[in-house]
Structure 1
Amino acid sequence: MPLTAFWHPLRVQVRDYLQACLKDDLAAALVVSVLLIPQSLAYAMLAGLPPQVGLYASLLPPLMYALLGSSPFLNVGPVAVLALMILQTLQLAPAGVSPSEAALVLAAEVGLLLGAAALLRLDALAALLSVPVLHGFETGATIAIAASQLPVLLGAQASGANLPELWSSARSHGFEAQGIASLFGIVALLALLAVRRLPKGLPARMAPLGVLLIGILAAWALDPQGLARVGTLPPLALHLTVPRLNTHLWMTMLPGAALIALLGYVSSLAVAESLARRVGQRVFPRRELMGLAGANLAAALTGGMPAAASFSRSVLMSDAGSRTRMTGVFVAGLMGLALVTLSPLLAWCPKPVLAASIMAAVLAGVSLQPYRDAWRYDRAEALLMTVVTLLVLGVSITAALGLGVLGAIALLLKRSARPHVALIGRIPGTEHYRNVERYQVELDPEVMGLRIDESLLFLNGRSLADVVQAHLDTRPGTRRVLLQMSPVNSIDFSGLSALKDLHEALARQGRRLDLSEVKGPVLDRLKAGGWDDWFCGRLFMSHHQGMRDEH
């Protein structure tokens, strides 16, 4: 291929980008970086890590996501909910391993797990966390994060990753607030909550950084005693790191890494899909796996922590006008500039102000509406949502997510264990057939029309004959059963066996089994399974035709 054939289209794309998108992407990157700087420090400290780790996790991870991901709106870096999960997982690290070393292993494992899922095309893993479980977990984690930051906000000594740990720590160390720390923290929190009421625009977007800078200037000017600060940071220069190669450490971190990977992927994909729908775009789940895998591996090799997409920063990136994934590249560049210039300034940052920034960010997402909606729609799912929330607050994230996944699977099994088979009749004057319990219909005394409302699988196939027999017991004069199969999308081998058992049971009773409206792919599988060898009934293109058949 001539070089000009490659160079000319590339030059056109670059020119079009510079004219149409560069300005918007740069503006969005600047706005997001303003929020990312204080959040990266705060979330690293929330995870029990040195503050510079959050800055490192905000540099190359967004760049790697920009190269591999699919959404122009996601900002990948430290996230509050993951920070709480990291804190609880790091508590399990073996003796002699520092939190920073364990965090590198954790990030590497998250990246490797997500990369393996991408290679194996396991993007359907998102289905493991149902919406009630995700809502319940996020609400519980949000409240737990806010509670964990309350002692820092007030300058007290208590600490803990859940409410019992906080209570125990408060009883042991006391919960006496420090006056100057409380002043800085409460004023910062009130200021951050107040600016949320401002109309959307540049002042509101710059407010978090403005509050941080005012707190730094006040701490520098007053230099009060008893005010905890970030303290002197090491030289903020990005360098290559290699996670510690210790088999026991890697095995200890693996369960936590698997949960962090699952939650990070599910929450990031949900944010990406939500923002894409606003503008009629698509995201690709497998590429999201690849982008997050690359981001976490980059964090592991550059002194960072596990990363995922931040909901607040991603929404901000979208609202600020991001057009392409180049916004992530510009964010990485701006964070690199901050990395080498802001070390002396950030050393004066008061910890209560960082705690206020965390509380303001997470409390904005607390809503009880999903619980009310779930209670009205499905009380079992509402109960599962509530239990997951309480487990996050009172036990651990691992227990909450484990029970949530098992609970969602149990509810699915309960719904699927018995197929819904509706007795249907003809709406007078039409060829339409509907459920007798919902419509006024006409029934044939000799032909029973039944509609199977779900696929026949190993979960429910065993009950098919019993469900049909229950209908027959109410209509003993039936000589023929016609199953409308239009809702059936799949029949596995267990379902095929159940259909055969029903056919034989009806034959012993002197009744015939017929089928109507069987979908092509389902019929192909039935024929491949030897259906023609034992099926003696008739197959009809329409249910009405089957009901009118005189044979």
Structure 2
Amino acid sequence: MTPTPPSYRRDSLRDDLLAAAIVAVLLIPQSIAYALLAGLPPQVGLYASVLPLVAYALVGASSLNAVGPAAVLALMTLQAIAPLAGQVDLSAAAVVLAAEVGLLLAAAAVLKLDALAALLSAPVLQGFSVGAAISIALSQLPALLGSPAHGVHLRALVDSWVESSRAGAWLHPTTAAFGVSSLVVLLVARRHLQPLAARWLSTDLAKLVARAAPLVVIAIATGLAWAFAAPSHGVTVVGPLPTLHLPLALPLFDAELWLLLLPSAALLALVTFVSSFAVAERLGLQRGEHVDGRRELAGLAAANLAAGVSGGMPVGGSFSRSALNAEAGARTRWAGAWTALFLALAALLLAAPLAWLPRTVLAATIVVPVLAAAEWKAFGLAWRYTRGEAALMGLVAAITVLHTAQWALGVGVLISIALMLQHAARPHAALIGRVPGTEHYRNVTRYATELTPGVLSLRVDESLLFVNARQLPGVVAKHLDAYPDTRRVVLQMTPVNRIDLSGLEALSTLQTVLRERGIRLDLSEVKGPVLDGLRAAQWSSWFAGRIYLSHHQAVRDEQGMAP
């Protein structure tokens, strides 16, 4: 459990300070890059990396989650606010968006809605991960090559690039030299630097050296841009950063703007929680740390609300920064607060050098990690495991690239729910028989089994709920058509975790149908909570069969009497 400040021990402080210094150095160029990715001034990324980190340290759940601007959230922010260009200041819109995300996450924490994370199923998340990686890489391609083209999705980007090409501005050689060379160095370093460094350094230190490669590339590129006066050769640089002062103020209150951004904010809140919680859980398991979902919601809410009152943008947990935070030895979540302090100091001290940083190099530092983090292998696994979910992954990825992340996630959630309802609406009742020489009963289509004459044994493989309960009598009737001499139907209820009112009515209907055919209905292996519910409904007043402790006992009781 993360200690509170009064119990903040000296060794924890030392380790947190070291981790914070390392993460802060990485966070400065990332913050600027993600702000530019979102179509915002570079200082917005810095603002989003100060107070939000302190707010999360005060409220959040994870000792390792490094909160701040993130690539996917920046892409979603861009797609949410870009249509408002010319109507409202985009920085003001980003602040409103962050505030809305914070308020939605806070409401979810109060209402204990952390289970809503399940709305983003693995296929949707993985498809979105790949689609977002492709979209981000494509959006940075013009910056890498020095083209003025831009667009929030593939079609807009292609149209803009065609228009730029007609004007002869599809490529700027000097800019492309900076961007492409940085990209190549980063790709090579990501693949080979760690094993090379491990020849002389410890494994943990080699990892840190490999993660520091972007900082080295940025430093070299900045030095070269200054030495050769790159802006005079047409290379776009970050430019002078304004004095770092947090513009503390409430977000612009425009009811129409808030309402317009609400759907995007809802999806951003969902993605923020799901992705951040996944990072916190994964790293927490490595430390034996339990991460409370509701408290994580509260921490992320506090971070985004802080961004909303300090001129920032939506923030969340970053896997790359959080992993670096862990490897650097962070002990508590207060490392995030120290990171904010170091970042503010570094931004003040490094403002002049950062002004010479080519934007094309920032684009390279975005493209490499997002392409590496995308879950490409998930498509192969999904295709081998279930073609339907693989198709869902492909659809979500395609919509993310061709349209917007909001549409992709919305469609993905709706299709996931539809697939779940389709599966749940068809209750599976397997015909089971006894495995010879045992008291175990298995599906007759998968095992060599023995059937007891006159007894139809069926294992109900779904909970009986309103979405599927009405199908139960028909499912049993189909099995009876194959075994017309049946005198008893015994339902093995082991997989049934719940029976709602519709399920209760379906059992009553099934018993009536079977009684008219001279067949008795019995149940076996009913779970305690399910049985409690049946008793509370006083079902003994109409249920004429028996309940057996084991299915074998039910089948052996050929006279319908308990032995």
TM-score interval (norm. to shorter): over 0.9
1:220-259 equivalences in 2 (<5 Å): 220-224=226-230, 225-259=233-267
Distance 1:202 1:123, change over 3 A: closer
1:188 aligns with 2:196: no
| Residue 218 of structure 1: aligned partner | 224
Distance 1:386 1:122, change over 3 A: same
Aligned to 2:84, which of 63, 88, 93? Answer: 93
- TM-aligned CA deviation for residue 340 of structure 1: 2.5
Aligned to 1:152, which of 143, 154, 160? Answer: 143
- TM-aligned CA deviation for residue 161 of structure 1: 1.7
| Residue 163 of structure 1: aligned partner | 154
Aligned to 1:327, which of 320, 335, 360? Answer: 335
1:510 aligns with 2:505: no
| Residue 506 of structure 2: aligned partner | 498
| Residue 127 of structure 1: aligned partner | 118
Deviations 1:162-213 (A, max 9, x none): 1111110011122521121111111221222222221234432322222112
Q: Supply the distance in 1 between the matched residues of 2:27 and 2:4 (Cα, whole angstroms).
A: 32
- TM-aligned CA deviation for residue 156 of structure 1: 0.7
Q: Which runs of 5 or more residues in structure 1 are unaligned?
A: 1-8
- TM-aligned CA deviation for residue 11 of structure 1: 9.5
Q: Supply the distance in 1 between the matched residues of 2:538 and 2:181 (Cα, whole angstroms).
A: 75
Deviations 1:31-74 (A, max 9, x none): 21121111100000000000000001011112211211111111
Q: Supply the distance in 1 between the matched residues of 2:392 and 2:357 (Cα, whole angstroms).
A: 41
Distance 1:201 1:441, change over 3 A: closer
Aligned to 1:18, which of 10, 15, 19? Answer: 10
**Contact 1:94 / 1:249 at 8 angstroms: preserved in 2?**
no
Aligned to 1:270, which of 263, 267, 278? Answer: 278
Q: Supply the distance in 2 between the matched residues of 1:96 and 1:487 (Cα, whole angstroms).
A: 56
1:435 aligns with 2:443: yes
| Residue 351 of structure 2: aligned partner | 343
Distance 1:314 1:202, change over 3 A: closer
Q: Supply the distance in 1 between the matched residues of 2:248 and 2:549 (Cα, whole angstroms).
A: 66
Deviations 1:248-291 (A, max 9, x none): 11111111111111111111111111112222221111111101
Q: Supply the distance in 2 between the matched residues of 1:449 and 1:240 (Cα, whole angstroms).
A: 69
- TM-aligned CA deviation for residue 367 of structure 1: 4.2
Deviations 1:47-102 (A, max 9, x none): 00000000010111122112111111111110111111111110233754100000
**Contact 2:208 / 2:324 at 8 angstroms: preserved in 1?**
no
| Residue 57 of structure 1: aligned partner | 48
- TM-aligned CA deviation for residue 528 of structure 1: 1.4
**417-426 or 340-349: which moved more?**
340-349
| Residue 463 of structure 1: aligned partner | 471
Aligned to 2:293, which of 285, 309, 330? Answer: 285
**247-256 or 91-100: which moved more?**
91-100
* 2:303 match: secondary structure: helix
- TM-aligned CA deviation for residue 427 of structure 1: 1.4
Identity %: 55
| Residue 179 of structure 1: aligned partner | 173
Q: Supply the distance in 2 between the matched residues of 1:149 and 1:10 (Cα, whole angstroms).
A: 42
- TM-aligned CA deviation for residue 26 of structure 1: 2.0
Deviations 1:404-435 (A, max 9, x none): 00111111111111111011111122111111
Distance 1:177 1:314, change over 3 A: same
Distance 1:165 1:10, change over 3 A: closer
Matched to 2:10, the amino acid is: L
| Residue 103 of structure 1: aligned partner | 94
**Contact 1:184 / 1:215 at 8 angstroms: preserved in 2?**
yes
Q: Supply the distance in 2 between the matched residues of 1:12 and 1:445 (Cα, whole angstroms).
A: 73
* 1:441 match: secondary structure: coil
Q: Supply the distance in 2 between the matched residues of 1:89 and 1:547 (Cα, whole angstroms).
A: 62
Deviations 1:382-421 (A, max 9, x none): 0000011111111221221111001111111111111110
* 1:364 match: secondary structure: helix
Aligned to 1:352, which of 360, 369, 381? Answer: 360
**Contact 1:93 / 1:253 at 8 angstroms: preserved in 2?**
no
- TM-aligned CA deviation for residue 463 of structure 1: 0.5
Distance 1:462 1:11, change over 3 A: closer
Deviations 1:324-380 (A, max 9, x none): 112112111111212322222222111111111111221212343100100000000
Aligned to 1:198, which of 173, 188, 193? Answer: 193
1:297 aligns with 2:302: no
* 2:84 match: secondary structure: coil
Q: Supply the distance in 2 between the matched residues of 1:424 and 1:259 (Cα, whole angstroms).
A: 45
Matched to 1:292, the amino acid is: L
| Residue 406 of structure 2: aligned partner | 398
Q: Supply the distance in 2 between the matched residues of 1:178 and 1:223 (Cα, whole angstroms).
A: 16
| Residue 370 of structure 1: aligned partner | 378
Q: Supply the distance in 2 between the matched residues of 1:539 and 1:22 (Cα, whole angstroms).
A: 61
Matched to 1:287, the amino acid is: R
Q: Normalization by structure 1: what TM-score? A: 0.95
**Contact 2:132 / 2:401 at 8 angstroms: preserved in 1?**
yes
Q: Supply the distance in 1 between the matched residues of 2:278 and 2:476 (Cα, whole angstroms).
A: 40
Q: Supply the distance in 1 between the matched residues of 2:78 and 2:5 (Cα, whole angstroms).
A: 47
Q: Supply the distance in 1 between the matched residues of 2:420 and 2:176 (Cα, whole angstroms).
A: 48
- TM-aligned CA deviation for residue 12 of structure 1: 8.4
* 2:212 match: secondary structure: helix
**Contact 1:34 / 1:206 at 8 angstroms: preserved in 2?**
no
| Residue 215 of structure 2: aligned partner | 209
**297-306 or 198-207: which moved more?**
198-207
- What do you get for the CA RMSD once the two structures are aligned? 1.5
1:426 aligns with 2:434: yes
How many residues were matched structurally?
540
**Contact 1:423 / 1:449 at 8 angstroms: preserved in 2?**
yes
**224-233 or 377-386: which moved more?**
224-233
